[in-house]
Amino acid sequence: MKGVGGEYTIHLPDGVCVLAKPRGIFRKRKVIPTVGDYCEIEPSGDPDIPFTIVSIADRKNLLVRPSVANVDVLIIAVSISNPQPDLKLLDKLLILCPKLSIDPVILLTKTDLAPDEAEALAREYENAGYRVLRTSKEEMLPDDLVRELFSGNTVGIAGQSGVGKSTLCHRLTGMDHIEVGDISERLKRGKHTTRHVELFPYEGGFLIDTPGFSSLEVDRIGIKEEDLLGGYPELLSISGKCRFLDCRHNGELGCKVEESGISEGRLARYREFLDIIIETSKRYGK
């Protein structure tokens, strides 16, 4: 659930939390127990730290900065206004999720500020094949939907500063001390203070509380051309239809991109990412 100074809080299947220290062997093998890991523990004989971590299960994924393992679901929060939606960030996160085997869910917030635009944006991404949830000042997520999202899952919330991540968490958990994605809070504490990632049990799953999910280091992870279509399911749906099998849907002869139903905005962003990837690979000769 969290790790501070080499001491880890382990959540047992019955919900009880205990303290454990990793066995020395991990340090030698350079395996660092990470929040989100599934592990086996044994009694240590030390009354202060009564357990030893003896093994760590293979990870489904590992995010760095924030350091968290085995993320199942990422709620990508986007507000329709104040701040304006950063659709490039949204599309990048959508490209990243399948690469990391994470299920993305788009959460459109502040729909009260511009209901018609909000509905249009929600439809644009629903047409692309994504799940889009909506919240406003008055409207929260339905309980059964929240349970379905969390049940058995480790769930993170990402999004620009000010989109309403903390607001959502307060409304979900009623807890004030959770500060998911709280950039503003981090700034208040000073730039160099790092807060630890922590998991909270919630509705049969875990909510990831981290100060750093806003950026998710999207650019650092690096998107390759073969990853790109993972964020554009509507383009995947026309694969094999264009004249050329390796069509990039970028103005080629016989391209059937219009049959994909992709929106103008998403196509433009796809092509912009494609240009950047092609340019970068030319420069580095890859």
Ligand X SMILES: Nc1nc2c(ncn2[C@@H]2O[C@H](COP(=O)(O)OP(=O)(O)OP(=O)(O)O)[C@@H](O)[C@H]2O)c(=O)[nH]1
Query: Which spans of this chain sit near ligand X (rule: CB under 6 A)?
Result: 109-110, 112-113, 135-137, 159, 161-167, 181-184, 214
Q: How far is the CB of 124 from ligand X (least distance, A)?
A: 19
Close Cβ partners of 102 (under 8 Å, ≥ 6 residues apart): 61, 71, 72, 73, 74, 96
Instruction: State the nearest-atom distance from the C-beta of 51 to Mg ion, in Å.
Output: 33
> Whose Cβ is closer to Mg ion: residue 53's or residue 180's?
180
Angle in degrees, 0-180, between the axes of helices 87-99 and 264-283, rounded to the nearest 10: 70
What are the tokens at 65? 């900065």
Partner that binds at residue 33, options Zn ion, ligand X, Mg ion, none, CB closer than 5 to 8 Å by kind: none
Residue 123 interaction partner, one of ligand X, Zn ion, Mg ion, none, beta carbon < 5-8 Å per kind: none
Of residues 15 through 44, those in contact with Mg ion by CB under 5 A are: none
* 104, 93 contact by CB (below 8 A): yes
In Å, how far from its chain's centre is CA 128? 18
Take residue 151 and report the two structure tokens written for it. Answer: 């049940």
Touching Mg ion, residues 150-179 (CB under 5 A): 165-166
Cα torsion at 176, 179, 185, 186 (round to 10°)?
150
For residue 231 the two structure tokens come to 């964020």
- Contacted by 66, from ligand X, Zn ion, Mg ion, none: CB < 5 to 8 Å by type: none
Residue indicated by tokens 């069509």: 247
Minimal distance in Å, beta carbon 137 to Mg ion?
17
How many chain residues bind Mg ion (CB under 5 A)?
3
**Residue 209 found at the interface with Mg ion (CB under 5 A):** no
Can you read off the two tokens belonging to residue 127?
């047409």
**Closer residue to ligand X in complex, CB, 81/280:** 81
How far apart (Å, rounded) are the C-alpha atoms in residues 85 and 121?
A: 10
Query: Among 14-22, 91-99, 142-150, 239-247, which window interacts with Zn ion (CB under 5 A)?
Result: 239-247
**Dist CA 104 CA 86 (whole Å):** 16
Q: Is 182 in the site for Mg ion (CB under 5 A)?
A: yes
In the complex, the smallest distance separating the C-beta of residue 228 from ligand X, rounded to whole angstroms, is: 27
Residue 33 or 104: which CB sits closer to ligand X?
A: 104
> How far is it, in rounded angstroms, from Cα 82 to Cα 165?
13
Under the binding rule (CB under 5 A), the answer on residue 109 touching Mg ion is no
Contacts of 39 (CB under 8 A, 6+ apart): 10, 20, 33, 53, 54, 55, 56, 57
Residue with smaller CB distance to ligand X, 179 or 234: 179
Closer to Zn ion by Cβ: residue 149 or 255: 255
Of 213 and 232, nearer to Zn ion (C-beta) is 232
Kindly give, in sequence order, each residue whose CB lies less than 8 Å from that of residue 233, ignoring residues fewer than 6 positions away. Answer: 128, 129, 130
Task: Considering the complex, state which of residue 183 and residue 262 has its C-beta at the smaller distance from ligand X.
Answer: 183
Q: Pick from 242, 267, 270, 273: which binds Zn ion (CB under 5 A)?
A: 242
Nearest CA among 199, 201, 197 for reference residue 211: 197
Residue 109 site contact among ligand X, Zn ion, Mg ion, none (CB < 5 to 8 Å, cut-off depends on kind): ligand X
Give the other-Cβ count within 10 Å of 186's Cβ: 19
Binding site for Mg ion (CB under 5 A): 165-166, 182
Binding site for Zn ion (CB under 5 A): 242, 247, 249, 255
